[in-house]
Amino acid sequence: MKLLYSIHKYDVFMLIWLINVRMHGSLAKFSRYMSRTGDGPLYLLVAVLLYWQQGIESPLLQAILLGFLIERPIYFIVKNSLKRNRPAAALQNFHSVITPSDQFSFPSGHTSAAFMMATLISYFFPALMIPLYCWAALVGFSRVVLGVHFPTDTLVGVILGISTALFSLGQIIP
């Protein structure tokens, strides 16, 4: 219990520090945009383009589909089993910049999906690795800046996304 309390204290400290940074207003505007890139339509567009270009035989498309078939249920089960309150519900007098789409915060689904996609696409297009991982990190960071996640929510999202991608690649690529 002491470990969980220490982690929670760290999370609250980091979140409050970030919210109180002088440039938070500018960060929040940028973060709204970055967060929207992780909402899902971009992933659907990538899948449709892959299907249009290569058909269902596309190894990347197969890895993406398998990845989401695994990642989404795990994300949903963990989030709804642990039921960690979002910062606005957990902290007195705290208001997030945006209204989250669901009630609980752990893990960050936006971060998980972004890192899964970044990992999968990077495997097939290594030259895009750095920009893709920068984008995924900004999606996760944006969720903290917007006040809908604690830092560890996004950290676990990174782990879930990358792990799911690696597992999917292992199933698709012999």
* pLDDT at residue 1, as a whole number: 65
CATH superfamily membership of 2-172: Phosphatidic acid phosphatase type 2/haloperoxidase (1.20.144.10)
- Domain limits, the chain: 2-172
Please, where are the H alpha helices in the chain? Answer: 2-20, 24-37, 41-54, 59-82, 87-90, 109-124, 129-145, 151-172
Which of the 8 DSSP states describes residue 85?
B
Section 40-66 average pLDDT: 93
pLDDT at 172 over 90: no
Lowest pLDDT segment from 33-37, 98-102, 110-114, 151-155: 98-102
Predicted TM-score of the model (pTM): 0.88
pLDDT at 67 over 90: yes
* pLDDT at residue 3, as a whole number: 67
Section 16-28 average pLDDT: 75
* pLDDT at residue 105, as a whole number: 86
- The string of pLDDT tens digits covering residues 122-156 is 999 999 999 999 999 999 999 999 989 989 999 99
Residues in contact with 80: Cβ distance below 8 Å, sequence separation at least 6, in sequence order = 104
